[in-house]
Structure 1
Amino acid sequence: MSTLLEQLRQYSTVVADTGDLEAIRRFKPEDATTNPSLILKAVQSGQYDALLNEIVAVARGHNGSLEEAVDEACDRLVVTMGSLILNHVPGRISTEVNARLSFDREASIAKARQLVALYEEAGISRDRILIKLAATWEGIRAAEVLEREGIECNLTLIFSFTQARACAEAGAFLISPFVGRILDWYRKANPDTVYTPEEEPGVQQVREIYRYFRRHQYPTVVMGASFRNSGEVLALAGCDRLTISPALLEELAHGEGSVEPVLADNGERADPPAPITEVEFRWQLNEDAMATEKLAEGIRGFEADQLKLEALLRERLAGGVA
């Protein structure tokens, strides 16, 4: 009998949630996703030391300040790592705009264009790139502009239906609802409640989003993310894409049993409602304590790891490491 992972691939596109090249080579995902936390982890593993030294050498030739050189080195690092990953996946790489720009539409657009330019300089066409932006109001509006320019986006840190709806209405290529982080919040709020995978609030939310998008014929791809266990993954079999950590890919690759599609287009159709306004978006998000808290926490967490990455590069650029 085929493994759980092999069966899952029949219903959903499998994406690797890692910057670990060995894991990517082993599990052969269609796409891969990265974020500042994953990039930092990959750099700290030592497998990118030679690459890091090359990037530092290039950035040292920058005519601006040390901080400008650090910014350039960070951009070149994520793009170069993304390019390497693309040698091992047939599809796309998701590359994230700095979390500190999550509330700055114009700066997010400028940074996205810069990252795409670096990819194109490296010979990578934009149809193999997804620019990741936090699904704040400003991030969604930045994606709306970028999509019109042919720069397709992955709206991340999705914790509410409101965020998902706004992304679809803005024409985002893909959204990433964070299943496991939603569960984390509910477990903390309701410590005595035991959730089966099918009952988990994050799983239920992804199912709701998927069905809404199909019913109203939004082409936006739904990619479940941030899984805490393989049961969550299997409870979303049939979702457009699922981005899965190496540990869970390993578990699924050795798992036995039967996988059945849970999500499928049932053919129901309805006209979409009028697009959500900024006032409605902000109010509805404010009224959702879980989404408000987890979105803020996610942005802070990515920024914390971005700062650690910048500190590492700053030390090397200042001469701490050759």
Structure 2
Amino acid sequence: MTSKLDQLRAMTTVVADSGDIEAVARLKPVDCTTNPTIVLKALGTPMFADAIKEAIAWGKKQGGTPDAVASAVADRLAISVGAALSGLVPGRVSTEVDADLSFNTEGSIAKARAIIAAYKERGISHDRILIKLASTWEGIRAAEVLQKEGIDCNLTLLFSKAQAVACADAKVFLISPFVGRILDWYKKSTGKEYAPEEDPGVLSVREIYNYYKANDIKTIVMGASFRSAGEVEALAGCDRLTISPNLLDELAKDEGKLERKLSPENKTSVSKIAVDERTFRWMMNEDAMATEKLAEGIRAFAKDLIALRTMVGKELQLAAA
């Protein structure tokens, strides 16, 4: 019997949700996703000591305020992590636009273009990169512009059908609906435990997947933020799944039978809807879980972004001493 991970790979594109170079090399996912939390953790390992030294040396030669230089060096380090990952996977690496630009469409577009340019300087073409943006109204509008320029986007921190529909309308390349964080909210709200088949996060992704397939929407659905292997198994067959190394290892050791849960052939009819800004904001307002988890996610990523810039600032000060 083959492992559940191998069975999953036969029906779903497996993506590593990690900046752990050794784990990615060992598990051989097709793509990798990163975020400020993952980048910060990766930079804390010995593997990126030289990259930090190089970026600090580069930063010393840059002009501008200390905060601006620290921000530029932090950006350079995020690209260093992404570049290292791109050398290990045959597909795409997702790199996130700064969380503090989540409500700034023009700022997000400019940052995305800068990220693509920085990768190009390292010989990595734009078709190897996905630009990650928060699924705010402003982030979705930024993605719409970038997609028209040929820059593919991954819309993250997605918790609701309203966000998914708006992303589809914008012709976004890929969405990352968060499974585990939805489950977290419902467990805290209700005090209940949920089996995978009744897991609110699993059900949310299944609904979005069915809506897309029923309406021939080309946007890729990539389930993310898993709390257990059971959640992953409950979405077997989804276009893509981005999974942490510990859960990938668990699936690799399990030789039980994996049942396919999602398939384009098994879609059920559902009417296509359009979501303008007013409708989007009202639907989000009416969905306490989506509103709270989106805001919480942006705050968490912003916190880690600040932590990275602070670390860089201290290194720059030490280098100047």
- TM-score normalized by the length of structure 1: 0.97
Equivalent residue, structure 1, for 2:41: 41
SS at match of 1:48: helix
Q: 2: distance between equivalents of 1:283 and 1:181? A: 22
Q: 2: distance between equivalents of 1:267 and 1:20? A: 36
Give yes or no for contact 2:206–2:262 (8 Å, CA) kept in 1.
Answer: yes
Q: 2: distance between equivalents of 1:321 and 1:237? A: 52
Kindly state the Cα deviation for residue 68 of structure 1 after the two structures are TM-superposed. Answer: 1.7
- Which segments of 5 or more consecutive residues in structure 2 lack a partner in the other structure? none
Give yes or no for contact 1:217–1:269 (8 Å, CA) kept in 2.
Answer: no
Q: Quick check: 1:290 aligned with 2:293?
A: no
Kindly state the Cα deviation for residue 249 of structure 1 after the two structures are TM-superposed. Answer: 0.7
SS at match of 2:94: strand
Q: 1: distance between equivalents of 2:46 and 2:290? A: 35
Equivalent residue, structure 2, for 1:117: 117
CA shift in 2, pair 1:41/1:125, >3 Å = same
Q: Give 1:208's aligned amino acid.
A: E
Equivalent residue, structure 1, for 2:204: 205
SS at match of 2:115: helix
Q: What are the within-5 Å matches in structure 2 for residues 177-256 of structure 1?
A: 177-191=177-191, 193-256=192-255
CA shift in 2, pair 1:70/1:272, >3 Å = farther
CA shift in 2, pair 1:4/1:131, >3 Å = same
Give yes or no for contact 1:131–1:152 (8 Å, CA) kept in 2.
Answer: yes
Give yes or no for contact 1:215–1:268 (8 Å, CA) kept in 2.
Answer: yes
1:75-132 Cα deviation digits (max 9, x unpaired) = 1111121111111000000000000000000000000000000011111110000000
Equivalent residue, structure 1, for 2:67: 67
Give yes or no for contact 1:315–1:321 (8 Å, CA) kept in 2.
Answer: no
Give yes or no for contact 1:97–1:108 (8 Å, CA) kept in 2.
Answer: yes
1:126-182 Cα deviation digits (max 9, x unpaired) = 000000000000000000000000000000000111101100110100000110000
SS at match of 1:155: strand
Equivalent residue, structure 2, for 1:264: 263
The alignment yields a C-alpha RMSD, in angstroms, of 1.4
Q: Give 1:30's aligned amino acid.
A: V
Q: Quick check: 1:172 aligned with 2:193?
A: no
Equivalent residue, structure 1, for 2:98: 98
Q: Give 1:36's aligned amino acid.
A: P
Equivalent residue, structure 1, for 2:309: 310
Kindly state the Cα deviation for residue 257 of structure 1 after the two structures are TM-superposed. Answer: 0.3
- TM-score normalized by the length of structure 2: 0.97
Kindly state the Cα deviation for residue 71 of structure 1 after the two structures are TM-superposed. Answer: 1.6
Kindly state the Cα deviation for residue 267 of structure 1 after the two structures are TM-superposed. Answer: 6.6
1:205-238 Cα deviation digits (max 9, x unpaired) = 0000001001111100000000000000000000
Q: Give 2:47's aligned amino acid.
A: Q
Q: Give 1:224's aligned amino acid.
A: G
SS at match of 1:206: helix
Kindly state the Cα deviation for residue 263 of structure 1 after the two structures are TM-superposed. Answer: 0.3
Kindly state the Cα deviation for residue 320 of structure 1 after the two structures are TM-superposed. Answer: 5.6
Q: 1: distance between equivalents of 2:142 and 2:103? A: 10
Equivalent residue, structure 2, for 1:17: 17
1:222-271 Cα deviation digits (max 9, x unpaired) = 00000000000000000000000011011111112001211001276879
Equivalent residue, structure 2, for 1:54: 54
Kindly state the Cα deviation for residue 69 of structure 1 after the two structures are TM-superposed. Answer: 1.1
Give yes or no for contact 1:130–1:152 (8 Å, CA) kept in 2.
Answer: yes
Q: 1: distance between equivalents of 2:268 and 2:208? A: 14
CA shift in 2, pair 1:145/1:18, >3 Å = same
1:249-298 Cα deviation digits (max 9, x unpaired) = 11111112001211001276879645311000000001000000000000
Q: 1: distance between equivalents of 2:49 and 2:141? A: 37
Give yes or no for contact 2:178–2:224 (8 Å, CA) kept in 1.
Answer: yes
Q: 2: distance between equivalents of 1:307 and 1:276? A: 33
Give yes or no for contact 1:140–1:167 (8 Å, CA) kept in 2.
Answer: yes
Kindly state the Cα deviation for residue 319 of structure 1 after the two structures are TM-superposed. Answer: 1.9
- Which segments of 5 or more consecutive residues in structure 1 lack a partner in the other structure? none
Higher mean C-alpha deviation, range 93-102 or range 268-277 = 268-277
SS at match of 2:318: coil
Equivalent residue, structure 2, for 1:6: 6
Equivalent residue, structure 1, for 2:29: 29
